[in-house]
Amino acid sequence: MSRVILFNKPYGVLSQFTDRGTDAARATLSDYVPVPHVYPAGRLDRDSEGLLILTDDGRLQARIAAPRHKMPKTYLVQVEGEPDAASLDALRAGVLLRDGPTRPAEVRRIDPPPLWPRDPPVRFRKSVPVYWLRLTIREGRNRQVRRMTAAVGYPTLRLVRWRIGVWTLEGLAPGAWRELP
């Protein structure tokens, strides 16, 4: 039987079990998930939060992470500024990044979601409004969502992956995990 673990990765945690980076200690998956022989199916940047799936099944891991399988990944994205219709349409059509065009995204503006507070908090500027988007992509390039919103003129301030395929973050607090039966 395959093991599948849903984990709500907090801000600042690396999407790996060991830190082979700097001399300064950084939080890793091993600080939160004491389960041997499971590995992340895909990655989330250190400054992103949300759903990370861990599994011991290499085929499932590839199906989740490999862009050729086009598994949808949905993000809640806080952006700086008020995205206009043309910018949202550009995301829906696919935007040109340095490493080539993206596939079309599903995107819509949403009310601020009832998320946990981020530590440290997102910077706040009185003169610049912030808006939330629900954005779904079917590929997973390095920092893709951040690069897409920046390409249409709205930098990402906070990024929370909410869903991968049929799995959601529903009911999982930051740093919490649960194994699927």
CATH 3.30.70.580 range(s) for the chain read: 4-66+167-179
**Which residue ranges of the chain lie beneath pLDDT 70?**
21-23
CA distance 53 to 8: 9
Q: What is the DSSP string of the chain?
A: ---EEEEEEPTT--SSSS--S-SS----GGGT---TT-EESS---TT-EEEEEEES-HHHHHHHH-GGG---EEEEEEEES---HHHHHHHHH--EETTEEPPP-EEEEEPPP-PPPPSSPPP--TTS-EEEEEEEES---TTHHHHHHHHTT--EEEEEEEEETTEE-TT--TT-EEE--
Q: What is the pLDDT of residue 126?
A: 76
Q: What is the pLDDT of residue 22?
A: 67
Quote the pTM value: 0.94
Q: What is the pLDDT of residue 66?
A: 81
The tokens of 69 are what?
């399988």
Q: What is the pLDDT of residue 121?
A: 87
CATH number of 4-66+167-179: 3.30.70.580
CA distance 21 to 111: 37
Please identify which of the residues 19, 45, 56, 57 carries the catalytic annotation.
45
89-124: pLDDT as tens digits: 999 999 999 999 999 999 999 999 999 999 888 887
Q: What is the pLDDT of residue 23?
A: 63
CA distance 22 to 19: 8
CATH 3.30.70.1560 range(s) for the chain read: 72-164
What is the domain class of 72-164 according to CATH?
A: alpha beta
Mean pLDDT across the chain, nearest whole number? 93
- Concerning whether 56 is annotated as a catalytic residue, the answer is no
Q: What are phi and psi of 162, to 5 degrees?
A: -100, -35
